[in-house]
Structure 1
Amino acid sequence: MMSKTLFKKNALIATLGSVLLGGQAMATLPQNATSIEIPVQHIQLTQEWDKVFPKSDKVEHRKVTFKNRYGITLAGDLYMPKNAQGKLPAIAVSGPFGAVKEQSSGLYAQHLAERGFVTLAFDGSYTGESSGLPRNMASPEINTEDFSAAVDFLGLQDFVNPDEIGILGICGWGGFALNAAIADTRVKAVAVSTMYDMTRVMANGYEIKLDPKGQYDRVAGLDIEGRNKMKQALNAQRWVDAQNGTFALTPKDNHLPSQEKLTDDTPLFVKEYSNYYKTERGYHPRSINSTSGWTQTAPLAFINMPILQRAAELKAPALVVHGEKAHSRYFGEEAFNALGSKNKELYIVPSANHTDLYDDVANKIPYDKFEAFFKANLK
């Protein structure tokens, strides 16, 4: 049975004609009503090991929950070196965009825990095992906040040194990690791997040509007219959602095609994503990229909100890691050039494509580089 939360009319409800929560429209308040009941979402945590990577015998693992500044409960996997003593440096990890902590972020977190750090891989708001309604929603502001909430949680643990906390973002969460580090002075070091700037790609489209053979030539991306057409389509969908009382998802094969839907004309980078999310290599039933799609109107928040506009103000040490052959390499290189950190490094992994840095532990993910960077700067 769901518990109920009461909101007093003079605090909130006077501004509401009706409430839409989780796809169910609540009735309009009667004229003399003083309160309205809104269901509180409960989350279920899976206790068995259900990652796409094997469990290490060198670390201890447990599930944790914590809240962000917007009251959303986030779920995470906490990894600690076995037999650790004293207060340790800690790293919060999340990403890629549309993935869950059972995929790449957990893999990174577990490996870094083997190397002496307390690590926290977490699901962003509205995704995975974290709460937030509607599901499969994204927000550049809230997802940036999620990293700072992870710092809150880590800094309050008695086995963590609160002055030695870093963050690491993968793919689209790389942009959120940099954005969080710009605003949150408690972040002592920030690293990103195979990063995207999700506000840039949603507003501009890809600023490179993505052909099936892997030729990635720079192009202009979306112009003002193209962006206006996109906004018209997204806002038309808002009418549909408002009428239906639900939030329509992007059809899963439109979001990311399954293996059998790939053709000779499918861009190479899309094939790379499908080869990770839609196969045993990286498939997870809670992952948006593996199973469904984002809410169709999710891009609206990203189009007008560039997350890295204050990049020159970053003070924390920064490490930007990208693949030499990655279609997304320009995001990392241009973000790196904009960062104001006096201590910053761009590391290009030879021959690596975008998704090689998701899970290629043996040949591509430079864990030695990440370890050295965090040990040098979390002290």
Structure 2
Amino acid sequence: MKDKALKASFLAAMISLAGADAGAADSRENPFTLVYGGAITRNEVGKVNIHPVTYTLNGLNIAANVYTPAHYDPTKKYPAVVVAHPNGGVKEQVAGLYSQRLAEQGYIAITADAAYQGASGGTPRNVDKPANRVEDIHGMADFIASYPGVDPQRLGLLGICGGGGYSLKAAQTDKRFKAVATLSMFNSGEVRRNGYMDSQLDSIQQRLKQASEARAQEAAGGEVLYANDVKLTDEQIAKLPFELYRQGFEYYGKTHAHPNSSSKFTLSSLLDLMSFDARDQLELLNQPLLMLAGSKADSLYMTNQAFAKATGTQDKELFLIDGATHIETYWVPEYVDVALQKLSEFYGRTL
């Protein structure tokens, strides 16, 4: 199971990428280990503040950050937004940036590391099962609904990349979320099953067999096997077939690297991932829906597919961020500003 064919297969399937270490941002330079531009460096009276918190979900300790607006008064009532991070990402990266910016607009925002990932508990590490990620979103709603100052009747949801696909699934049944938005939505199950842009259709059964063998090995007390546990040189990154992968290595491995962020996941997770699809039963989602994506993103096809399937809501909008690729919506100031303006209008109207 460790042969070259297996490694090549999962290299082609990578999406949340933590690559070469050279030139990586040093999270130690920020007291909250935040790695995005304009990040909070200290809490000050009258300004947006960050509050690291820990809560328990299904017996696991979940590490989260809550962002509160300027002049936050816990005796008042604020709308709140739950922010779900990308696959392999952590709360200190793009999810933190959007949470902080939402707090600047007057929202209380929460973003948490997924169970088994980042600073949250759970072993083996880097289990990546859709049911866990969806439960993480429900858990953030549980916690933030009782946070001082939060109006639980005005709760929104924002899912980024893989977190976007899981947010669509969570909101199908969790009607505490009054409005749902996605940014650069990534349908994790579709890609793990079919490959990015359907590039691995001919190896589905082979990969399922490998995942089944990995689970059997775990159950017998053997070594836990991982997919996507690779590091690439700049030359190798430049030769990757999709722009999302190339820019993803830059973002996760260099410009916005964080020690808790990892692209690898347990090989046995594919038993769950490959039968998951964010589009399944999407007609159950009846809340207002905003889907944001870069006009030049090679992942745009997934947003288009999901948007078409969201037939349960008449209040929906697909908004393209002109000129942006998938990863550029994570950090390029002009694209982030456009996304935040649309989110402000959307949540302002629906919450």
- TM-score normalised per structure 1: 0.78
Aligned match of 1:55: 39
Aligned match of 2:26: none
C-alpha distance in structure 1 between counterparts of 2:232 and 2:242, whole Å: 11
CA-to-partner distance for each residue in 1:67-114, whole Å, 9 max, x for gaps?
33x332211111001212311000011211100001010010001101
Q: Specify the code of the residue in structure 1 equivalent to 2:125.
A: R
Aligned match of 2:269: 298
Which has more radius of gyration? 1
- Structure 1: tracts of 5 or more residues without a match: 1-46, 210-220
Q: Specify the code of the residue in structure 2 equivalent to 1:233.
A: Q
Distance 1:152 1:258, change over 3 A: farther
Residue 337 of structure 1: SS of its match in structure 2? Answer: helix
Residue 89 of structure 2: SS of its match in structure 1? Answer: coil
4+ runs deviating over 4 angstroms: none
Q: Which of 304, 307, 323 is matched with 1:351 structurally? A: 323
- Structure 2: tracts of 5 or more residues without a match: 1-29
C-alpha distance in structure 2 between counterparts of 1:265 and 1:128, whole Å: 26
Q: Specify the code of the residue in structure 2 equivalent to 1:100.
A: V
C-alpha distance in structure 2 between counterparts of 1:273 and 1:324, whole Å: 17
Count of aligned pairs: 312
Q: Specify the code of the residue in structure 2 equivalent to 1:163.
A: Q
Is 1:183 the equivalent of 2:173?
yes
Residue 270 of structure 1: SS of its match in structure 2? Answer: helix
Q: Which of 331, 343, 346 is matched with 1:370 structurally? A: 343
Q: Specify the code of the residue in structure 2 equivalent to 1:283.
A: A
Native 8 Å contact 1:231 1:300 kept in 2: yes
Aligned match of 1:44: none
Q: Which of 156, 161, 176 is matched with 2:151 structurally? A: 161
Displacement, 1:65? Answer: 1.6
Aligned match of 2:201: 222
C-alpha distance in structure 1 between counterparts of 2:55 and 2:288, whole Å: 26
Q: Specify the code of the residue in structure 1 equivalent to 2:193.
A: A
- TM-score normalised per structure 2: 0.84
Alignment of 1:1-379 (within 5 A): 48-53=31-36, 54-56=38-40, 58-68=47-57, 70-85=58-73, 86-207=76-197, 222=201, 226-243=203-220, 245-250=222-227, 252-253=229-230, 257-259=232-234, 261-264=236-239, 266-279=241-254, 281-289=255-263, 293-339=264-310, 340-365=312-337, 366-378=339-351
Distance 1:265 1:276, change over 3 A: closer
User: Bigger relative contact order, structure 1 or 2, given CA contacts below 8 A and separation 6+?
Assistant: 2
Pick the structure with more helix per residue: 2
* % identical aligned pairs: 31
Q: Specify the code of the residue in structure 1 equivalent to 2:150.
A: V
C-alpha distance in structure 2 between counterparts of 1:134 and 1:75, whole Å: 17
